[in-house]
Amino acid sequence: MSLNNYGRSKMEKKMKDPNKPKRPTSAYFYFVAAERADYKKRGEDCSRVAEWTKVVSAKWRELTPTQKKPFDKQAAEDKVRYEKQMSTYTGPGAKRPKDVNKPKRAQSAYFLFLADFRAREKANFQHEGGHKDLIKAAGEGWNKLTAADKKPYEATHAKLRAEYEVAMADYAAGGSTAKKSKANNGAAQDVEDDDEDEEEEDDDESD
């Protein structure tokens, strides 16, 4: 049995609370389930999962927004179910209430770039799995920037970092500059929050 750096086995690390609400199913996976049911009803073979999934994925991409609507509706209803169950869940992985007055940490130069990249390119990544593709493309774009291209983002980060440190000192002393820090730093923070949620979804979908 292999151990990680903290002496815990990989099995222990992967163990999850069986009572934790199941993450909402996406419209695409509702479509896949419907296709699988149709295949079985017709007596067709879908045991070659990799090949079958390619066929179904191609079919999904060809659907019009109107054809996808029933699956979007199912996904939206399941998301409501999940959020309702998570609102009362207190086990491992439950989101703790945030202190609304605590300043948001300063964004890195990369996350500031990511916010700009998303604003410019989001319309080109509306397909299934588009969020991950956007993040990948942003990473590649960032790596291609010259030091001069990165300089404005690094300068903004330094400014936000200084403001954050002032706000945190005031927050620790019971002051009220936290809201100002949030206003200056909130847009980029939304990008990071989205990506943290996506990482959590990746973990749960691997079950």
Non-local CB neighbours of 186 within 8 Å, separated by 6+ positions:
104
**What are the tens digits of pLDDT across the range 132-180?**
899 999 999 999 999 999 999 999 999 999 999 999 998 888 765 545 5
For the whole model, what pTM was predicted? 0.44
Contact status, residue 104 vs residue 193, Cβ threshold 8 Å? no
Bridge partners, 3 (sequence order) = 9
Domains of the chain, earliest start first: 18-86 (1.10.30.10), 109-205 (no CATH)
**What are the tens digits of pLDDT across the range 8-37?**
445 545 567 888 899 999 999 999 999 999
Nearest alpha-carbon partner for 133 in 143, 122, 119: 122
